[in-house]
Amino acid sequence: MHVLERAQFDTLLEALQQHGRQVIGPVRRDGVIGYEPVRSAGDLPVGWADEQEAGRYRLHHKDHGRLFDYTAGFHTWKRYLYPPTAVLWQASRDNGRLSFETPSETPPKFALLGVRACELHAIAIQDKVFLDGAHPDPAYAVRRNNAFIIAVNCGRAGGTCFCASMETGPRAQGGYDLALTEVAEDGRHYFTVEAGTKKGERLLDELELREAIEAERAAAAAAVEAAANQMGRQMPVDGLRELLAANPESPRWEAVAKRCLCCANCTMACPTCFCSTVHDSAAMTGETAKRERVWDSCFTMEFSYVHGGSVRKDASSRYRQWMTHKLSSWHDQFGSSGCVGCGRCITWCPVGIDITEEAWLLQEAHGGPTRTGE
Amino acid sequence: MAKKTQGSQRPKLAVWKFSSCDGCQLSLLDCEDELLDVAGAVEIAYFPEATRAVVKGPYDVSLVEGSVSTPEDAQRIQHVRRQSRVLVTIGACATAGGIQALRNFANVEDFTRAVYAMPEHIEALSTSTPISYHVFVDFELRGCPINKTQLVEVIGAFLLGRRPNVPTYSVCVECKRRGSPCVMVAQGIPCLGPVTQAGCGALCPAYNRGCYGCFGPMETPNTAACSAQLQALGMDDPQLTRVYRTFNAWSEAFRRESEIHDA
Ligand code: SF4
Ligand code: SF4
Ligand code: SF4
Ligand code: SF4
């Protein structure tokens, strides 16, 4: 374990840039912290912390000068690895001859700065979706394979976080090139740094950082420990997978449908949701055409459209699809939960529908554990 | 390709105006590059906003802007329908009655007396209604004003004989794809995005404003749940009635929700 002083932080960013990388990290704008291009430490949300609740997000400024005191950002890293809109192919007709081409633009080599433990798990889940199997997704693969990941261990948990109950955080357990832990106490401000890959080690060597002393290691460990004890929420995972599979007719689905807008914000905000649709378009002259892929959601009518109409007509069946996929059938499909406990679907639901609350209500309605532990 | 009416080389496109502000027709003129393609692909047969030349009907595709708000409108739309193979309505006036449908909630004579010096010369129906109340409509393109990219898509789709790709889901989908922070959640600003159909690219939230509902109700609008949240953000009943009563006031879902809060 090494130590990067706060005053040296720009040397890390400069090293990444010298390697031809575009650094994407936390940036404050329009009242939120999102993930956007970062040039220097001055672009980071120095001293800003978020307050998250169901359907509510606010930022507050503090004097501690921390760079990473916010929790899960407004954006997700999928925005960069699996962009919301991507051209899959273009076609043109020249003297009656049709030719197809794949888009030629090469995406930047990203360095993703500030990836949280839950987000590392989310990236691993999307890797499984897009890279495993016979037909890896080329658009995802090129972005993902070129990305350098700098994780940040959480020193504080947010109001809608529940990674502890999903066993995905708050400490990064792998899937990063470098992992930082921020410590700001007793007049000092530094980061402990660990490498997770050879690429990470090489960058560490270049930075020529000193080894951490015992007191620094202990301070970093204590910071992450504190976050684990601050979880805003808890997911009642015991038996949940089976319970969801067994209760497609639960009266809970009608109950939540009364509040659900079918607006799709939850799926768009979720770091693991991967659904997309394709649109074909042609120029009026019929000389050129293209196929684009855009993010889609199981909350739209078109998503379940088969000949004659949509299969999931009402909100109850759409909310059930979302929640059952995340917490039950995802296990069957990909061998893990589809939820990493980041809390975004709770925070960014305009009406504050809470997936953990819905899970508790389902458990309680069908003989599972109760919140009072009875 | 769309079937061509007899005697014409290219399909004939007509643009018609009813009670409206011309903003939607101007969207077509605003498609500089695409318009050249449109002009190459179709014969612009009747488009008083752009040309004085009139080519006789029948027409392959008619774009209709505006609502029916006078006795003359009500007759003329029948004539347009008879001459049009495909009839597409464009904009909030044509698809929902427009802002002038506010009269539907009141007594139109009170308005004419208040606005005009000689109200006896005004011949207006007591309601402003969408074109689909009067004739069969092949496709409705929403928006106040319409989105020009969607307009080109619709014209192109009818010319090539395929279904137009015009999503009916919420504005929130576009808002999130665009990466704009939700103004409801992050700033407590009331937004109609969750109950409004996409099409504008989530323009207002990108500039820290709530959605005004220009594209009318989305496919499955849960206006009751949306209103409950707007109330939680501080809106009272009169304000709620007002947010639903703008350009798409007479659309079924917005009209009903506005009436619930109109004591
Ligand atoms: S389901 Fe919700 S809490 Fe779970 S990963 Fe997705 S957004 Fe995060
Ligand atoms: S929850 Fe819905 S949008 Fe998300 S991955 Fe599953 S089906 Fe797709
Ligand atoms: S759960 Fe919330 S965010 Fe998701 S579709 Fe329903 S209202 Fe929208
Ligand atoms: S700002 Fe409005 S349109 Fe955008 S996500 Fe929020 S509620 Fe939806």
Domain of residue B50, CATH code: 3.40.50.700
Judge if B123 and B35 occupy the same domain: yes
pLDDT at B6: 46
User: Do both B231 and B188 map to the same domain?
Assistant: yes
**How far is Cα A27 from Cα A10, in angstroms, rounded to an integer?**
15
- A259, HSE (Cβ side, Cα atoms, 13 Å): 14
Q: Which ligand has an atom closest to residue A265 CA?
A: 3
Q: How far apart are CA A292 and CA A280, in angstroms?
A: 6
Tell me which residue has its CA closest to atom 2 in ligand 3: A349
B244 and B125 housed in the same domain: no
Q: Which amino acid is at B178?
A: R
In a domain, B1, yes or no: no
Task: Give the pLDDT score at B163.
Answer: 86
**Reduced 3-state DSSP string for B112-172:** HHHHCCCHHHCCCCCCCECHHHCCCCCEEECCCCCCHHHHHHHHHHHHHCCCCCCCCCEHH
Q: Do B251 and B189 have their domain in common?
A: yes
pLDDT at B36: 76
Clarify whether residues B138 and B187 are in a common domain: no
Domain's final residue, options B137, B160, B183: B160
Is B63 part of any domain? yes
State mean pLDDT over A213-226.
95
CA of A263 to the centre of ligand 3 (A): 6
Is A275 near ligand 2, meaning CB less than 6 Å away? yes
Q: Over range A257-271, report the average pLDDT.
A: 98
Q: How many residues in chain B?
A: 263
What pLDDT score was predicted for residue B209?
A: 97
Helix A251-259 / helix B223-232 crossing angle, nearest 10 deg: 60
DSSP element (H, E) containing B231: helix B223-232
pLDDT greater than 80 at residue B53: no
Identify whether B185 is part of a domain: yes
Confirm whether B44 is domain-assigned: yes
Given this model, what pLDDT does residue B1 score?
42
- What is the per-residue pLDDT across B89-101, written as a single tens digit (0 to 9) for each? 999 999 999 999 9
Across the interface, whether the CB atoms of A269 and B176 are under 8 A apart is answered: yes
Please give the C-alpha separations between residue A107 and each of A42, A170, B57, B219, in angstroms, as whole numbers.
25, 30, 51, 35
Q: What is the pTM of this model?
A: 0.95
Measured in angstroms, how far is the CA atom of residue A354 from the centroid of ligand 3?
9
Query: What's the mean pLDDT in B28-43?
Result: 79
Within a domain: B4: no
Considering every ligand atom, which ligand is closest to the CA of A126?
2
Chain B residues near residue A84 by CB distance under 8 angstroms? 176-179
* Mutation choice for ligand 2 from A298, A312, A333, CB with most ligand atoms inside 8 A: A298
Give pLDDT, residue B3: 47
Residue B166 belongs to a domain:
no
> How does residue B50 score in pLDDT terms, banded at 50, 70 and 90?
confident
Q: Which ligand is nearest to the CA of A348?
A: 3
Tokens standing for residue B206: 């990108």
pLDDT at B5 over 70: no
Do residue B219 and residue B89 come from a single domain?
Answer: no
pLDDT at B161 over 90: no
Nearest CA to ligand 3 atom 4: A266
pLDDT of residue A374: 53
Bigger pLDDT: B157 or B97? Answer: B97
Give the domain-ending residue among B134, B160, B186: B160
Q: For residue range A123-182, what is the model confidence (pLDDT) as tens digits?
A: 999 999 999 989 999 999 999 999 999 999 999 999 999 999 999 999 999 999 999 999
Decide if A300 and B219 are in contact by the 8 Å CB cutoff: yes
What's the confidence (pLDDT) of residue B244? 98
What average pLDDT is seen over chain A?
95
Over residues B96-115, the mean pLDDT reads 90
pLDDT computed for residue A59 by the predictor = 98
Q: Which of B177, B184, B220 sits opposite A315 (nearest CB)?
A: B220
pLDDT for res A125: 98
Ligand 4 centroid–CA A262 distance in Å is 12
Residue given tokens 């997704």 in the structure block: A137
Within-domain flag for B139: yes
Q: Do A261 and B40 touch (CB under 8 A)?
A: no
Backbone angles phi, psi at A325, to 5 degrees: -65, -50
Q: Are residues B34 and B140 in the same domain?
A: yes
Would you say the CB of residue B191 lies under 6 angstroms from ligand 4?
Answer: yes
Residue of A53, A252, A260 with the most ligand 3 atoms within 8 Å of its CB, for mutation = A260
Distance A77 CA to ligand 1 centre (A): 13
Q: Which ligand is nearest to the CA of B176?
A: 4
Residue B57: pLDDT band by 50, 70, 90 thresholds?
confident
Does some domain include residue B165? no
Burial B199-235 (b: 16+ CB within 10 A, else e): bbebbbbbeeebbbbbbbbbebbbbebbbebbeeeeb
Whether B182 lines ligand 4, by a CB cut-off of 6 Å, is yes
Domain identity same for B181 and B253: yes
Q: Is residue B104 located within the same domain as residue B211?
A: no
How confident is the model over B188-219, as pLDDT tens digits?
A: 999 999 999 999 999 999 999 999 999 999 99
Q: What is the ipTM of this complex?
A: 0.96
Distance (Å) from the alpha carbon of A279 to chain B's nearest alpha carbon:
7
Bridge partners, residue B68, by sequence: B129
pLDDT tens track for A156-168: 999 999 999 999 9
Q: Report whether pLDDT(B7) > 70.
A: no
Ligand 3 is surrounded, with C-beta below 6 A, by A 260-266, 299, 349, 351, 353
Domain holding B240, by residue range, is 171-260
Q: Among residues of chain B, what percentage have pLDDT more than 70?
A: 97
How are beta strands A97-101 and A85-94 bridged, if at all? antiparallel
Domain C-terminal end among B125, B160, B195: B160
Pocket test for ligand 4, best of B170, B171, B177, B178 (most atoms within 8 A of CB): B171
Is residue B135 located within the same domain as residue B204? no
Residue of B nearest to A31 (CA): B186
Specify whether B154 is located in the same domain as B179: no
SS (H, E, C) chain A: CEEEEHHHHHHHHHHHHHCCEEEEEEEEECCEEEEEECCCHHHCCCCEEEEEECCEEEEEECCCCCCCCCCCCCCCCHHHHCCCEEEEEEEEEECCEEEEECCCCCCCEEEEEEECHHHHHHHHHHHHHHHCCCCCCHHHHHHHHCCEEEEECCCCCCCCCCHHHHCCCCCCCCCCCEEEEEEEECCEEEEEEEECCHHHHHHHHHHCCEECCHHHHHHHHHHHHHHHCCCCCCCCCCCHHHHHHHCCCCHHHHHHHHHCCCCCHHHHHCCCCCCEEEEEEECCCCCEEEEEEEECCCCCCHHHEECCEECCCCHHHHHHHHHHHHHHHHHHHHCCCCCCCCCHHHHCCCCCCCHHHHHHHHHHHCCCCCCCCC
| B85: confidence class by pLDDT, cuts 50, 70, 90 | very high
Q: Model confidence over A236-247: pLDDT tens digits?
A: 999 999 999 999
Looking at the fold, whether B27 and B145 belong to one and the same domain comes out as yes
Residue from the list A264, A285, A302 with its beta carbon closest to the beta carbon of B37: A285
Q: Which member of A31, A75, A85 has the closest CB to residue B186?
A: A31
Nearest-by-CA chain B residue for A51: B186
* CA-nearest residue, atom 5 of ligand 2: A273
Chain B interface residues facing chain A, Cβ-Cβ under 8 Å?
34, 37-38, 40-41, 152-153, 155-156, 159-160, 165, 167-170, 172-173, 176-182, 184-188, 191, 193-195, 208, 219-220, 222, 224-226, 228-229
pLDDT of residue A104: 74
Q: How many domains does chain B have?
A: 2
Q: Region A225-236: what's the mean pLDDT?
A: 92
Closest-lying ligand 3 atom to the alpha carbon of residue B222: 7
State whether the beta carbon of A326 lies less than 6 angstroms from ligand 2: yes
Quick one: what percent of chain A has pLDDT higher than 70?
A: 99
Residues 6+ apart with CB under 8 A from A309: none
Model confidence at B259, pLDDT cuts 50, 70, 90, reads very high
